[in-house]
Amino acid sequence: MGTLDGKTCIVTGGAGSLGLAAARLFLAEGANVALVDLAPQALAQAAADLPAERVELIEADVSNAGDAARYAKRTVQRFGPVDVLFSNAGNFGTVSSIKDYPEDVFDAVQAVHVKGAFLAAKFVVPVMRDGGSIVITSSVAGVRGDAGVYAYITAKHAQVGLMRCLAKELAPRGIRVNTIHPGPIDNGFQLAVEQGLGAAIGADGTEFFNRIIPLGRHGRPEEVAKSVLYLASDQSSFVTGTTLMVDGGMSV
């Protein structure tokens, strides 16, 4: 018997490595999963080997209110009320001095991370069962600061504030709300981050991160997904309003 038997889960950023790893775990634990992503082709490829009878693929822009309302409605129509929302969609932006940081890039990053998580809660909470769980993907960047990473770090801090507000409001319904804070993950998203950082600092971005992670390596999507499953399931039944670090000690 799985820890999520018969439960309905929404995963935004579902075509990415962490979203897909979490979806696989949710399915293995008995859940039905709506995978939401902006890129339909990538989403279809990512889900090619998943059980179609328990997966709904939804193309959506998480920063658009109409799209958020639509993915919430489609999920309920297919599987019933929502038990787990994994708000995981993200983009990075760029690394630049404050005087040169592009305003449009800053706005685009806030739109996906902050407004996207806000809209997910706004439209999913009304169709969520009492006792459910919301997990928002923040980052180790959500508890620290680094010069030049203005859009991403600001957005990741903002998600923590959103989480704490939701945790207070939804506690009477038994809905738990937490953020998960991965460190660098071995995936394409992180590689793009490190390439940008490397260009800015004139050094290998991947090696730079490995040197400042006490465990000395990047995490794997599957490792982080196990912590997402913990927060999504009743294993964390008395955990809400928390920032769970899954960063190899980078925040220490």
Residues with Cβ < 8 Å from 228, sequence gap 6 or more?
18, 22, 25, 86, 135, 180
pLDDT, average across residues 188-206: 68
Residue 204 has pLDDT above 80, yes or no: no
| Pairing of the two strands 82-87 and 8-12 | parallel
Using CA atoms, how far apart are residues 85 and 147, in angstroms rounded to an integer? 32
pLDDT at position 206, please? 74
* pTM (two decimals): 0.94
Active site (catalytic) residues: 152
| Pairing of the two strands 128-137 and 176-182 | parallel
Mean pLDDT, all residues of the chain: 93
Residue 193 has pLDDT above 80, yes or no: no
Domain count, the chain: 1
Residue 150 has pLDDT above 80, yes or no: yes
Question: What distance separates the 2 farthest-apart alpha carbons in the chain?
Answer: 55
Reported as a pLDDT band with limits 50, 70 and 90, residue 235 is very high
| Of residues 185, 183, 179, 184, the one with CA closest to residue 244 | 179
**DSSP 3-state of 158:** helix
What is the tens place of the pLDDT at every residue in 88-145? 999 999 989 999 999 999 999 999 999 999 999 999 999 999 999 999 999 999 999 9
Residue 191 has pLDDT above 70, yes or no: no
Residue 86 has pLDDT above 80, yes or no: yes
| Domain coverage including residue 87 | 8-185+220-246
Residue 2 belongs to a domain: no
Spell 217-235 as b/e; 16+ CB within 10 A means b.
Answer: ebbebeebbebbbbbbbee
Residue 56 belongs to a domain: yes
Residue 173 belongs to a domain: yes
pLDDT at position 203, please? 64
CATH number, domain of 78, equals 3.40.50.720
Residue 127 belongs to a domain: yes
Residue 195 has pLDDT above 80, yes or no: no
Residue 39 has pLDDT above 80, yes or no: yes
